[in-house]
Amino acid sequence: MASRKAGTRGKAAAAKQAQRGSSNVFSMFEQAQIQEFKEAFSCIDQNRDGIICKSDLRETYSQLGKVSVPEEELDAMLQEGKGPINFTVFLTLFGEKLNGTDPEEAILNAFRMFDPSGKGVVNKDEFKQLLLTQADKFSPAEVEQMFALTPMDLAGDVDYKSLCYIITHGDEKEE
């Protein structure tokens, strides 16, 4: 009985850890697309435990006619999830691939151009002006929505290091 409870706790911990994928990933897709991803996830999750594991991948490949998939290839696929791959993580992985999120370091370097003193913050008003007037211009409503989720320092400036983390990993508060 004790080993059964330990196994249940282990699965619960793995499932909780798998929820690290950002829940805002659902806003990146239409409902019909999410349903298609759910169907694909169900096809891959062969043992129906809600987590894609190596045996699930191996069985999926087998059903597709590829019987000898190198262990390294399967491991590399699972490593992309940086932990157990539940549906939210699965969707996040596809969202990153489809939407081309830049690596965190590239985003940080872009912000550093506006932070010559290296304090890790950019002036909120200057940043707002850039968002409203440059490149893919934000609407005033989009800027306000973004600032509602943007970490600020005590002076009201944008903490861009934290913002970069949110952009690339999701908002931890959402979990």
85 phi and psi, to 5 degrees? -100, 95
Domain interval for residue 76:
29-98
Distances from the Cα of 133 to the Cαs of 86, 88, 129, in angstroms? 39, 34, 6
Quick check: pTM over 0.75? no
Of 72, 98, 124, which residue sits at a domain end? 98
Question: What CATH number should be reported for the domain holding residue 93?
Answer: 1.10.238.10
The answer to whether residue 13 sits within a structural domain is no
pLDDT at residue 87, as a whole number? 94
Question: Does 77 lie in the same domain as 119?
Answer: no
Question: Does 131 lie in the same domain as 80?
Answer: no
158: β partners = 122, 152
Of 98, 123, 146, which residue sits at a domain end? 98
pLDDT at residue 8, as a whole number? 43
Tokens of 59: 């069985």
Question: Does 114 lie in the same domain as 87?
Answer: no
pLDDT at residue 24, as a whole number? 73
Question: Does 128 lie in the same domain as 162?
Answer: yes
92: exposed, middle or buried (Cβ count in 10 Å: 0-12, 13-18, 19+): buried
pLDDT at residue 105, as a whole number? 81
pLDDT at residue 79, as a whole number? 92
The answer to whether residue 126 sits within a structural domain is yes
103 phi and psi, to 5 degrees? -60, 150
Of 98, 119, 144, which residue sits at a domain end? 98
For the chain of 175 residues, list the mean pLDDT of each consecutive stretch of 10: 43 42 68 89 95 95 88 93 91 76 78 89 92 88 90 92 80 51
Distances from the Cα of 67 to the Cαs of 43, 44, 77, 79, 155, in angstroms? 17, 15, 17, 21, 59
pLDDT at residue 170, as a whole number? 67
pLDDT at residue 107, as a whole number? 85
Kindly tell me the number of DSSP H helices and DSSP E strands found in the chain: 9, 2
pLDDT at residue 171, as a whole number? 65
